[in-house]
């Protein structure tokens, strides 16, 4: 597909906002701001929030790289996605999306774990966990920077320029109205995470922006692992993880999580923890050092945690472990607060 054919998919006004530019090897992904209340507005579109791993796919003359939010290669974990993208019409492009695995028809970050940390493409395919790349934005295509093109036009360009006929690559559909009703319907289905609302005429920004807003059905976010406790009874590996979030340079204790692990996870994560042990607590809170059976670790592992709520003392209520994240630096983990 030639560049002129790609741009012909835009109307005259939007075409003028595309710029001839050398395609970069990396762009910082745009991020959404957490808000409390869903809303309806004709100037916004609404997409389902998928519980997976954010991925920027960068292709140059047919060579595809899948990159996480912190620029780690994901090619070995998801070789079928690489293969799907290698056969696309545009030879060079940058597209943004989410890698997702399903459990009983619902996106499952825990199930995706079985693929996420595999570094051999042959073994990844043999595991038996199907993955899909849900694409929601296009940033560059065949020598044109389209980040300044309005979102609604970018999504139209994405749908027209790429093929979504195989079962691996999927286009993220959106709704143009009834955001509140859509949010209620999504949250009525067990296991779904929420919605992303996006300003329809917004450009693509390389930071966190209020042009993208997220509404969550339940509480879930990343936490830094700063330690663990000894296992009790017949439990293997460890008892609970000690969790924290950063407040400036301080790692602030948020509580411990002892549920959500199978035996394989306990043993694998235990090995990672023991290799990171340190004598002193990384938490700024003095009382953490007095936790019975506590061991402390170098705080560079990030866990995805679901929980009921924050307590008045800033601890997690009923937390559950969902998996390890590899796509976010520990120092970037802060408490998510609606704005």
Mean pLDDT, residues 284-310 taken together: 95
- Indicate the residue among 216, 250, 274 that finishes a domain: 216
pLDDT band at 99 (very low <50, low <70, confident <90, very high): very high
- Computed over every residue of the chain, the mean pLDDT equals 95
Mean pLDDT, residues 71-78 taken together: 97
pTM for this predicted structure? 0.91
- Of the listed ranges 1-5, 155-159, 296-300, the least confidently predicted one is 1-5
> Which of 318, 320, 279, 287 is CA-nearest to residue 303?
320
Mean pLDDT, residues 319-329 taken together: 94
- Indicate the residue among 170, 197, 216 that finishes a domain: 216
Q: Please indicate whether residue 205 is annotated as part of the active site.
A: no
pLDDT band at 285 (very low <50, low <70, confident <90, very high): very high
Evaluate whether 215 touches 195 at the Cβ level (below 8 Å).
yes
pLDDT tens digits, one per residue of 173-203: 999 999 999 999 999 998 899 999 999 999 9
pLDDT band at 4 (very low <50, low <70, confident <90, very high): low
Evaluate whether 131 touches 78 at the Cβ level (below 8 Å).
yes
- Of the listed ranges 29-33, 162-166, 228-232, 331-335, the least confidently predicted one is 162-166
pLDDT band at 8 (very low <50, low <70, confident <90, very high): confident
Mean pLDDT, residues 20-41 taken together: 96
Count of domains observed in the chain: 2
pLDDT band at 55 (very low <50, low <70, confident <90, very high): very high
User: What percent of the chain shows pLDDT beyond 90?
Assistant: 90
One domain, residues 210 and 226: no
pLDDT band at 62 (very low <50, low <70, confident <90, very high): confident
One domain, residues 109 and 141: yes
One domain, residues 153 and 247: no
Assign residue 250 the CATH number of its domain.
2.40.50.140
Can you tell me the distance from the alpha carbon of 50 to that of 109, in angstroms, rounded to the nearest whole number? Answer: 9
> Which of 218, 251, 236, 196 is CA-nearest to residue 320?
218
One domain, residues 229 and 192: no
**Alpha-carbon torsion 164, 64, 332, 311, what sign?**
positive
Q: Is residue 337 part of a domain?
A: no
Q: Which of 31, 49, 216, 279 is catalytic?
A: 49
**Above 90 in pLDDT, residue 226?**
yes
One domain, residues 130 and 266: no
| pLDDT value of residue 50 | 95
Which residue reads 């995470």 in tokens? 193
pLDDT band at 56 (very low <50, low <70, confident <90, very high): very high
CA angle (328 as vertex; 148, 106 as ends), nearest 5: 85
HEC secondary structure over the chain = CCHHHHHCCCCHHHHCCCEECCCCCCCCCCEEEECCCCCCCCCEEEEEECCCEEEEEEEECCEEEEECCCCCECCCCCHHHHHHHHCCCCCCEEEEEEEECEECCEECHHHHHHHHCCCCHHHHHHCCCCCEEEEEEEEEECCEECCCCCHHHHHHHHHHHCCCCCCCEEECCCECCCHHHHHHHHHCCCCCCEEEEEECCCCCCCCEEEEEEEEECCEEEEEEEEEEECCCCCCCCCCCEEEEEEECCEEEEEEEECCCCCHHHHHHHHHHHHCCEECCCCECCHHHHHCCCEEEEEEEEEEEEEECEECCCCCEECCEEEEEECCCCHHHCCCCCCC
Q: Is residue 211 part of a domain?
A: yes
Structural domain harbouring 243: 219-332
**Above 80 in pLDDT, residue 316?**
yes
- Indicate the residue among 181, 201, 216 that finishes a domain: 216
Evaluate whether 87 touches 168 at the Cβ level (below 8 Å).
no
One domain, residues 269 and 146: no
Rounded alpha-carbon distances, angstroms, from residue 303 to 173, 257, 274, 324, 334: 29, 10, 16, 4, 12
**Above 60 in pLDDT, residue 3?**
no
One domain, residues 310 and 188: no
Evaluate whether 158 touches 138 at the Cβ level (below 8 Å).
yes
Can you tell me the distance from the alpha carbon of 66 to that of 79, in angstroms, rounded to the nearest whole number? Answer: 9
| pLDDT value of residue 2 | 47
| pLDDT value of residue 89 | 81
Assign residue 53 the CATH number of its domain.
3.30.470.30
One domain, residues 98 and 147: yes
**Above 80 in pLDDT, residue 19?**
yes
**Above 50 in pLDDT, residue 108?**
yes
| pLDDT value of residue 202 | 98
> Which of 264, 188, 176, 179 is CA-nearest to residue 214?
179
One domain, residues 159 and 200: yes
Can you tell me the distance from the alpha carbon of 228 to that of 251, in angstroms, rounded to the nearest whole number? Answer: 15
One domain, residues 181 and 233: no
Q: Is residue 208 part of a domain?
A: yes
Tokens representing 296?
């402390």
One domain, residues 211 and 229: no
One domain, residues 133 and 11: yes
**Above 70 in pLDDT, residue 111?**
yes
């Amino acid at each position: 597909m030639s560049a002129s054919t790609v741009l012909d998919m835009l109307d005259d006004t939007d075409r003028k906002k595309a710029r001839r530019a050398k395609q970069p090897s990396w762009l910082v992904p745009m991020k959404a701001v957490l808000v409390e209340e869903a809303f309806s507005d004709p100037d916004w579109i609404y997409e389902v929030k998928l519980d997976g791993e954010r991925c920027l796919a960068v292709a140059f003359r047919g060579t595809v790289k899948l990159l996480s939010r912190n620029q780690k290669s994901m090619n070995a974990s998801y070789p079928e996605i690489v293969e799907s993208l290698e056969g696309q019409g545009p030879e060079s492009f940058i597209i943004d999306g989410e890698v997702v695995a399903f459990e009983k028809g619902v996106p499952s970050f825990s199930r995706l774990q079985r693929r996420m940390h595999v570094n051999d493409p042959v073994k990844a395919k043999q595991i038996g966990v199907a993955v899909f790349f849900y694409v929601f934005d296009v940033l560059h295509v065949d020598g044109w920077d389209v980040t300044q093109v309005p979102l609604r036009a970018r999504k139209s360009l994405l749908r027209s320029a790429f093929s979504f006929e195989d079962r691996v690559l999927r286009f993220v559909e959106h709704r143009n109205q009834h955001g509140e009703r859509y949010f209620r319907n999504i949250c009525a289905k067990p296991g779904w995470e929420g919605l992303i609302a996006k300003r329809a005429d917004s450009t693509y920004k390389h930071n966190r922006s209020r042009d993208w807003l997220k509404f969550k059905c339940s509480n879930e976010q990343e936490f830094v692992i700063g330690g663990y406790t000894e296992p009790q009874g017949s439990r293997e590996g460890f008892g609970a993880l000690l969790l924290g979030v950063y407040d400036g340079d301080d790692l602030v204790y948020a509580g411990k999580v002892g549920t959500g692990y199978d035996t394989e996870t306990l043993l694998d994560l235990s090995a990672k923890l023991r290799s990171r042990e340190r004598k002193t607590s990384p938490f700024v809170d003095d009382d953490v050092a007095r936790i019975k059976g506590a061991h402390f670790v170098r705080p560079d592992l990030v866990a995805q945690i679901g929980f009921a709520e924050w307590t008045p003392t800033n601890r997690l209520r009923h937390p559950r472990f969902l998996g390890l994240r590899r796509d976010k630096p520990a120092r970037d983990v802060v408490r998510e607060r609606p704005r």
